[in-house]
Structure 1
């Protein structure tokens, strides 16, 4: 009796008897179809036009909700991709700023070295000038003299930083 009960349970579970002709593989029952009560219309019951309209509205609402879920997913994905792209650009700009700041620092130190070198060379040049010897050479060897008061002509240069001479000054 217990053996029959096990056999019956096995038949209910697998849908076949325990004996399989020509094959030892068991045939499992296929998964039952899902039933959506809101879509299924009982065959025995007469439906009115109002019920059909209500069912159509439910179907449209579900379809609309699924479409909105898809649009929401696409929108969120687009926003995430945009934020990711902006972050990548920000990191790229930060990298360029750091690179440029190190280059600027290097160039500033080079400029300071060149400025110091130029100042030292200018001091050496100015220290090497003997103004007394220039005066003696100009006066004694070349015969130069200081101008008289009536020989000096002054002029106003104006805004320009240089003067163009078109004729000899009298």
Structure 2
């Protein structure tokens, strides 16, 4: 390191000019053009090949134009798909938030309805005030649940609304 510094300082000292005269710049080196070397003979076939290599043929221009158009088309399609994906993602997020709030409201309403009804009080009222009776063993028909969640109605419900009436119930 010390040798470098001393070398640098000596360079700077040599570059400083005392007095009012400035050194003349060194002669510029000659350019390659100015240095003439004997010309080599180039065959006409080599000259033709070089000229052909320098030129761009119309087929290459058309090929590159089509490739550029295809590249731009693919980029535009990509950006459109990306924008559509972003829009759908935002829509899904909004729908998920709506579903969450509706589920919460539904659960709240269900629990409120469930808590507002006293099953024992409802049973007592049905038996004592309305004259309902619990079914006997022969009146209950059990069946396997069908694969679907709906029931088909094969007969019309009577206008009176009662399909069967117990003999013990007074009108």
For Structure 1 versus Structure 2, the TM-score category normalised by the shorter chain is: 0.5 to 0.7
Give, in whole Å, the separation in 2 of the partners of 1:91 and 1:165: 54
- Aligned twin of 1:133: 121
Within the candidate set 72, 91, 104, 2:60 is matched to 72
2:69 pairs with 1:81: yes
- Aligned twin of 2:94: 106
Helix, strand or coil at the partner of 1:96: helix
Over 3 Å counting, the alpha-carbon distance change for 1:112 and 1:148 in structure 2 is same
- Aligned twin of 1:145: 133
Within the candidate set 118, 124, 128, 2:106 is matched to 118
Q: Which has the higher contact order (CA 8 A, sep 6+)?
A: 2
Give, in whole Å, the separation in 2 of the partners of 1:100 and 1:156: 43
The runs of at least 4 aligned residues of structure 1 exceeding 2 Å deviation read 64-68, 150-169
Give, in whole Å, the separation in 1 of the partners of 2:153 and 2:78: 58
Q: How many residues align?
A: 112
Over 3 Å counting, the alpha-carbon distance change for 1:146 and 1:111 in structure 2 is same
Over 3 Å counting, the alpha-carbon distance change for 1:69 and 1:165 in structure 2 is closer
Given the two structures, how large is their TM-score scaled by the length of structure 1? Answer: 0.55
> Which stretch of the first structure deviates more once superposed, 158-167 or 108-117?
158-167
1:154-169 → structure 2 map (5 Å cutoff): 154-166=142-154
1:108-140 CA-partner distances (Å, limit 9, x unpaired): 111111111111111111110111221111111
Helix, strand or coil at the partner of 1:150: coil
Give, in whole Å, the separation in 1 of the partners of 2:152 and 2:91: 42
Per the TM alignment, residue 65 of structure 1 is displaced from its structure 2 partner at its CA by 8.8
Over 3 Å counting, the alpha-carbon distance change for 1:141 and 1:112 in structure 2 is same
Give, in whole Å, the separation in 1 of the partners of 2:145 and 2:88: 43
2:82 pairs with 1:94: yes
Bigger helix fraction: 1
Note if contact 1:139-1:145 (Cα within 8 Å) is conserved in structure 2: yes
Where in structure 1 are there 5+ consecutive unaligned residues?
1-37, 39-58
- Aligned twin of 2:28: none
Root-mean-square deviation over aligned CA pairs: 3.1
